[in-house]
């Protein structure tokens, strides 16, 4: 098991004083039971779990302000917690401290249907928001797979299957309210669709993983629910053919809403877990949005491209139950992988490259897995060059774990050498800190340190994340 970075913990007397002050102020909203603390340090990676010393459940923004003020006074760390689905140790508490769980701050505050936006609290989850919006004819399109909280999605700069058409969370947040290190609230923007007023503070906090402040409110963009939605599946002889079809579709302007690649091993896993009968070769899953005529035209045009690139039968459907079944299988890919090798540790990691290099990167990665005798199905958001490996290893087998570490290191180096990044959407957290200097350079890291020092001089906001230790 990989050991997460350790930081000096708060002195016991100081911590006790802080927890006493919080308990007096908040009563049973502050929880220190072992089970709850361990749940809030749990990771879905090989990183060691590092639980906080206490968990706080705020009911409103003023609660967050007060807990930050108390913790700042005692220099006790605070770690924002959404639903715990992050993958690089973002919710760990390496120095101890207080986890702020936004479970109860889950209200949709305002919906402005005419302006296609809404204002929400950070604990609202993706599925809950779309359920709330259903009767308005609107939806929020960012779909990372997990039913993540919107605050967490903003903090990790989440993406997902719809990014090729609707962008990532970065393009869909208009404004934030953020508690800064002294407990005051920063408002980063307005509901206007564009602005040139000052520094772009909204996008400074998006992707900051809670290291610069705590998000307490979001204003986000909404979209109209399409008249017709069609899902499609198309098998290919090779990963290269599937990637080439994706590139041509994008270059010719086909407005694909979703386009996902599953390699043959991932298709086998999904067939077994989700009781499907897809051909067990490289596969593209697609979705088209628009009017009935537009969707039919888009599907027809993509089918022609697929045939030119070695694709087999191209089947599509507009039946909601068929679409749901197909995409649920995609979203269950992680659990399908776990079922392939019960008892093995599974770590999901991601990289992103320019789409022109995607086929090379995926093919070389598959070759690496064969050479190292490792098992890791691959699934990718090929429309934007992002793909994921779900690496399976026996965590008790030190030799296999060493090969797994080598594989993940080579995967990142390969992506970076192709002009890509060590993470397209999982974030840095603790797991990928060591790759940041090589990707951005020391000067960029120093700029990040300066921003961190300016906004969080006491280093209480999620310490030990993103910025590599000195």
Listed by start position, the domains of the chain span 12-103, 108-224, 226-429
CATH of domain 226-429: 3.40.462.10
CB 43 within 8 A of CB 79: no
Pairing between β-strand 78-81 and β-strand 98-101 as defined by DSSP bridges: parallel
| Fold exhibited by the domain 12-103 | 3.30.43
In the predicted structure, residue 2 carries a pLDDT above the cut 70: no
Report which DSSP code applies to 180: -
Pairwise CA distance, residues 162 & 322, whole Å:
18
Stated pTM of the model: 0.93
Stretch 105-131: mean pLDDT: 97
Q: Name the nearest CA neighbour of 395 among 327, 326, 460, 345.
A: 345
Residue 382 or residue 192, greater confidence = 192
Residue 332, classed as helix, strand or coil, is coil
Pairing between β-strand 54-56 and β-strand 98-101 as defined by DSSP bridges: parallel
Report which DSSP code applies to 259: E
Pairwise CA distance, residues 56 & 389, whole Å:
34
Q: What is the mean pLDDT of the chain?
A: 94
Amino acid 470: pLDDT: 78
CATH of domain 108-224: 3.30.465.10
In the predicted structure, residue 42 carries a pLDDT above the cut 80: no
Q: Name the nearest CA neighbour of 61 among 172, 151, 129.
A: 151
Stretch 442-449: mean pLDDT: 97
CB 142 within 8 A of CB 169: yes
Q: Name the nearest CA neighbour of 164 among 140, 137, 194, 142.
A: 142
Q: Are 12-103 and 108-224 the same fold in CATH?
A: no
Task: Provide the pLDDT confidence category of residue 150 given band limits of 50, 70 and 90.
Answer: very high
Pairing between β-strand 386-393 and β-strand 345-352 as defined by DSSP bridges: antiparallel
The b-or-e profile of 237-252 (16+ CB within 10 A means b, else e) is: ebbbbbbbbbbbbbee
Residue 27 or residue 4, greater confidence = 27
Q: For residue range 315-363, list pLDDT tens digits in order.
A: 888 888 888 888 888 889 989 999 999 988 888 899 999 989 999 999 9
């Amino acid at each position: 098991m990989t050991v997460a970075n350790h930081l000096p913990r708060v002195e016991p007397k100081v911590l006790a004083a802080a927890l006493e002050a919080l308990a007096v102020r908040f009563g049973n909203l502050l929880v220190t039971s072992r089970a709850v603390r361990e749940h809030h340090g749990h990771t879905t990676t090989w990183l060691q779990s590092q639980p906080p010393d206490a968990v706080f459940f705020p009911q409103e923004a003023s609660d967050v302000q007060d807990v930050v003020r108390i913790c700042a006074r005692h220099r006790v760390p605070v770690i924002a917690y959404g639903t715990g689905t992050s993958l690089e140790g973002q919710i760990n508490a390496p120095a101890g401290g207080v986890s702020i769980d936004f479970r109860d701050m889950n209200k949709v505050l305002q919906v402005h249907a005419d302006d296609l936006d809404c204002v929400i609290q950070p604990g609202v989850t993706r599925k809950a928001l779309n359920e709330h919006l259903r009767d308005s004819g609107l939806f929020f399109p960012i779909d990372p797979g997990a039913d993540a909280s919107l605050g967490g999605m903003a903090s990790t700069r989440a993406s997902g299957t719809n990014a090729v058409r609707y962008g990532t969370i970065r393009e869909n947040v208009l404004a934030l309210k953020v508690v800064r290190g002294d407990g005051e609230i920063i408002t980063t923007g307005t509901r206007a669709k564009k602005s040139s007023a000052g520094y772009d503070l909204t996008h400074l906090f998006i992707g900051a993983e809670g290291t610069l402040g705590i998000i307490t409110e979001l204003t986000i963009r909404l979209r109209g629910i399409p008249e017709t939605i069609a899902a499609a599946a198309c098998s290919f002889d090779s990963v290269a053919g599937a990637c080439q079809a994706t590139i041509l579709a994008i270059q010719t302007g086909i407005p694909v809403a979703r386009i996902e690649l599953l390699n043959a091993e991932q298709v086998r896993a999904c067939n077994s877990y989700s009781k499907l009968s897809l051909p067990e070769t490289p596969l593209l899953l697609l979705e088209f949005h628009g009017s009935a005529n537009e969707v039919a035209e888009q599907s027809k045009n993509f089918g022609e491209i697929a045939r030119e690139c070695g694709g087999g039968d191209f089947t599509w459907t507009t039946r909601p139950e068929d679409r749901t079944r197909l995409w649920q299988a995609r979203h269950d890919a992680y659990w399908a992988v776990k079922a392939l090798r019960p008892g093995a540790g599974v770590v999901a990691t991601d990289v992103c490259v320019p789409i022109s290099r995607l086929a090379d990167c995926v093919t070389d990665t598959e070759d690496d897995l064969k050479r190292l005798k490792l098992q890791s199905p691959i699934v990718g958001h090929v429309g934007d060059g992002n793909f994921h490996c779900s690496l399976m290893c026996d965590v008790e087998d030190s030799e296999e774990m060493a090969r797994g570490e080598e594989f993940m290191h080579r995967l990142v180096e390969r992506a970076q050498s192709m002009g890509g990044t060590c993470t397209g959407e999982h974030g840095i957290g603790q797991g990928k800190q060591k790759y940041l200097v090589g990707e951005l350079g020391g000067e960029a890291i120093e700029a990040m340190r300066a921003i961190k020092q300016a906004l969080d001089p006491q280093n209480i906001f999620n310490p030990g994340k993103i910025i590599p230790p000195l």
